[in-house]
């Protein structure tokens, strides 16, 4: 039934399909374009930077300046006074796109230093800083070394031999000796100009004589007559002769009564010294012809030379305590308390690698120092902290007498692991620990198992550490001298002299210095003294008795 008013029914037509939306790639295109431009900019910047760097010269000036400063410092450390080092203005050089600096040094080597040893210090220290040192041929008293870095000469060092010591000024000739010389010369001149027929006139060398008042030297003038002559007339001429006698009391008197008419002898004395004698006598031919005596004095005999001996070739006697063929004295030097770094550590590492470095465990730079030292050829020791009997300071890893054997062994092994590669051990402090036999045995058991040597630092006069080590079969030695107990430089030098004396007397010695004292500042100077005295520096392991 249709409802009234209802409109005619409409058929429902299907909707026409809408066209699908197209995809928009424009954002991607913009992104890729930006990326490409950025990449091109990066590549361009890289190429530009590379070209710039290639065109920019390699600058070695900083390295050259640092090596110049280190060279001067090495010379000062070796004991050369600053006023003996003459540096010259630095010259900037450039070649093959490299710039560097060059300078020269003239070094007046003090007499107390060995010039060859000083040259070895320069070579060693500069080589450790990657500089090449090229010795030149020696010219006169100058030894020259060229320093090169990265293939460029950066310095020339000229070591000048010390000037020869000034010759001692001759002692002033005593007044009487001077006047006697003048008198003898005047007599010779007078005889040469006289009319007396003389065949020979001689003036002999001064002859020292014993005298109580002053040095006495007799001068003799001897004249020989060739023909008979009136010597009375000659004597009269002598009386009239003005001789250079001054006012010093020279008086002429007869030396002897004339033997015959052709003989005269006079002497000029002062203070009972016969300063000048004049002898006139016939020569051999006249004496033989006239049958006369020849009372003239005979010249002093020359000392006979023993066959086969030449001056300066005498056999030298061996030094006291040494026989021919003996090895030179040897010294081991331990540098204690390593591990804190700093400038003085670098001084030690630049020194002779025959030093032995003792490093504290658990220090800021201890492990690194041990590795660097081994790489440079140094012998390394563990500087083991031990109980000092003083509770004010306890060091990390310290072993104590109230610990049992297991705890002592464990702490010792841990410390050895921290300072790896140690060849031996010495005690840091430890005056109480080294007096305790049970504690020392527990500690030394580890060293025996690890085949390490032990050095007793002798921090207590009552230490039994060395004797216990020897009894247990652990290679060991005692310290002989603390080199910087007094930290003044002069005191350190005195202690070093004591160490050398000890080595000379006993054949070997062990000294201990420290990284953080003036000992490190003058280590180069001290080691040169060993060369001068013929003492060999060796690692401590070479001195340890098995």
Ranges for all domains in the chain classified under CATH 3.20.20.370? 330-542
The answer to whether 478 and 457 have CB atoms below 8 angstroms apart is no
Mean residue pLDDT of the chain comes to 82
In tens, the pLDDT along 271-297 reads 778 888 888 888 888 878 878 777 666
- Ramachandran region of residue 301, left (φ > 0), alpha (ψ -120 to 50) or beta? beta
Alpha-carbon separation of residue 414 from 32, 57, 401, 409, 469 (angstroms): 61, 51, 18, 9, 21
In tens, the pLDDT along 361-412 reads 988 889 999 999 999 999 999 999 999 977 666 788 899 999 999 999 999 9
Query: Residue 333 pairs with which residues in a beta bridge?
Result: 511
- Torsion of the alpha carbons at 341, 346, 351 and 355, rounded to the nearest 10: 10
pLDDT at position 328: 92
253-267, 327-341, 397-411, 423-437: segment of lowest average pLDDT: 253-267
| Mean pLDDT, rounded, for 298-305 | 51
Tokens standing for 118? 């000083």
| Mean pLDDT, rounded, for 100-106 | 93
User: Averaging pLDDT over each range in 220-224, 334-338, 396-400, which range is the top one?
Assistant: 334-338
Percent of the chain with pLDDT over 90: 36
Ranges for all domains in the chain classified under CATH 3.30.460.10? 59-160
pLDDT at position 456: 96
Measure the CA–CA gap between 412 and 447, rounded to whole angstroms. Answer: 9
The answer to whether 125 and 78 have CB atoms below 8 angstroms apart is no
The CATH code of domain 330-542 reads 3.20.20.370
Tokens standing for 436? 């305790």
Alpha-carbon separation of residue 264 from 276, 296, 298, 402 (angstroms): 14, 9, 15, 105
The answer to whether 513 and 447 have CB atoms below 8 angstroms apart is no
Measure the CA–CA gap between 227 and 197, rounded to whole angstroms. Answer: 6
The DSSP string of 432-500 is TGGG-HHHHHHHHHHHHHHT-EEEE---STT--HHHHHHHHT--EEE--EETTSS-SHHHHHHHHHHHH
CATH architecture of the domain with range 59-160 = 2-Layer Sandwich (3.30)
Measure the CA–CA gap between 412 and 424, rounded to whole angstroms. Answer: 12
In tens, the pLDDT along 168-208 reads 766 666 677 778 888 888 888 888 888 778 888 888 888 88
Better-predicted residue by pLDDT, 516 or 296: 516
Indicate whether 14 pLDDT > 50. yes
Residue 460: closest CA among 432, 437, 441, 439:
432
Better-predicted residue by pLDDT, 13 or 427: 427
pLDDT at position 510: 97
| Mean pLDDT, rounded, for 62-69 | 90
6-10, 248-252, 373-377, 385-389: segment of lowest average pLDDT: 6-10
Percent of the chain with pLDDT over 70: 84
């Amino acid at each position: 039934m249709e409802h009234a008013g209802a409109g005619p029914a409409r058929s429902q037509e299907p909707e026409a399909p809408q066209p699908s939306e197209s995809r928009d790639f424009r954002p991607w295109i913009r992104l890729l374009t930006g990326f490409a431009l950025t990449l091109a900019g990066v590549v361009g910047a890289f190429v530009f930077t590379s070209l710039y760097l290639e065109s920019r010269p390699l600058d070695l000036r900083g390295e050259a300046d640092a090596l110049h400063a280190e060279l001067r410092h090495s010379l000062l450390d070796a004991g050369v006074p600053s006023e003996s080092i003459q540096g010259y203005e630095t010259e900037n050089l450039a070649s093959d796109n490299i710039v560097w600096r060059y300078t020269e040094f003239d070094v007046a080597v003090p007499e107390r230093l060995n010039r060859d040893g000083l040259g070895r210090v320069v070579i060693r220290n500069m080589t450790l800083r990657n500089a090449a040192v090229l010795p030149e041929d020696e010219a006169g008293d100058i030894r020259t070394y060229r320093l090169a870095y990265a293939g460029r000469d950066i310095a020339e060092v000229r070591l000048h031999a010390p000037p020869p010591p000034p010759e001692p000024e001759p002692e002033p000739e005593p007044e009487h000796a001077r006047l006697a010389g003048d008198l003898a010369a005047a007599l010779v001149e007078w005889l040469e100009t006289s009319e007396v027929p003389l065949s020979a006139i001689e003036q002999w060398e001064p002859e020292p004589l014993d005298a109580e008042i002053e040095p006495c030297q007799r001068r003799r003038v001897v004249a020989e007559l060739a023909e008979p002559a009136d010597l009375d007339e000659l004597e009269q001429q002598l009386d009239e002769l003005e001789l250079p006698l001054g006012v010093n009391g020279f008086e002429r008197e007869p030396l002897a009564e004339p033997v015959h008419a052709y003989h005269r002898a006079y002497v000029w004395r002062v203070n009972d010294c016969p300063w000048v004698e004049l002898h006139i006598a016939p020569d051999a031919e006249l004496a033989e012809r006239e049958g006369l005596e020849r009372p003239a004095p005979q010249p002093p005999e020359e000392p006979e030379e023993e066959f086969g001996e030449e001056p300066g070739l005498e056999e030298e006697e061996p030094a006291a305590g040494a026989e021919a063929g003996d090895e030179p004295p040897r010294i081991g030097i331990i540098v204690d308390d390593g591990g804190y770094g700093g400038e003085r550590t670098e001084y030690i590492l630049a020194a002779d690698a025959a030093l032995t470095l003792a490093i504290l465990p658990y220090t800021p730079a201890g492990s690194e120092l041990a590795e660097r030292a081994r790489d440079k050829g140094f012998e390394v020791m563990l500087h083991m902290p031990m109980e000092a009997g003083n509770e004010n300071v306890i060091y990390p890893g310290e072993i104590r007498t109230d610990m049992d054997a297991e705890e002592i062994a464990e702490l010792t092994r841990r410390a050895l692991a921290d300072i790896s590669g140690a060849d031996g051990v010495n005690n840091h402090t430890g005056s109480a620990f080294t007096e305790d036999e049970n504690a020392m045995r527990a500690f030394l058991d580890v060293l025996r198992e690890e085949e390490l040597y032990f050095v007793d630092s002798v921090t207590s006069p009552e230490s039994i550490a060395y004797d216990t080590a020897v009894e247990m079969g652990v290679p060991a030695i005692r310290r002989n001298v603390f080199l910087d107990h007094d930290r003044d430089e002069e005191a350190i030098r005195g202690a070093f002299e004591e160490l050398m004396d000890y080595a000379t007397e006993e054949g070997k010695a062990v000294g201990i210095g420290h990284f953080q004292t003036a000992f490190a500042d003058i280590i180069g100077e001290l080691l040169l003294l060993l060369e001068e005295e013929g003492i060999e520096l060796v690692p401590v392991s070479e001195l340890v008795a098995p």
